[in-house]
Amino acid sequence: RLQEECDVLALRISKLKGVTATLSEYKAVMLASLRSLVPKDWGSSHEIAWTWLWENVERMINANLGKPVSQEKALSKLLAGLDEKTRGAIRRNVYSTFFEMAPAGQEYFKQSTTRLHFIADR
């Protein structure tokens, strides 16, 4: 689950144009916020745990930063080379697999099939 969240964060950060993410600064800010939220209970073990967690999160995010741009270009090139019938089959398979893996996703995609195909093409 942590890897999935880091992948989503890397995607969102990569979409920001002209912004350089300094994750180490976030670590310090978040650490200070956590200390102030639970001042009575906060101790050195909490600080060690937070540092360990954030170092792992930072490593996972940095591993994927910059990759989405090149992957998006390659995917666009691949899809542009496919005929409409093949693209339609891919769209159906994507949604079928998604709804099998995450049935709750159907609550977010209550559109017509045409609308789902439009979303998939984007």
Q: Where are the domains of the chain?
A: 2-67, 82-121
At residue 59, the pLDDT reads 92
Helical packing angle, 2-15 and 44-64, nearest 10°: 60
At residue 117, the pLDDT reads 64
In 3D space, the residue among 13, 59, 9, 50 whose CA is nearest the CA of residue 32 turns out to be: 50
10-residue mean pLDDT profile of the chain (122 residues): values are 88 81 84 87 89 92 82 84 86 83 77 66 66
* In contact, 54 and 27? CB cutoff 8 Å: yes
At residue 55, the pLDDT reads 92
At residue 56, the pLDDT reads 93
Is the pTM for the entire model greater than 0.85?
A: no
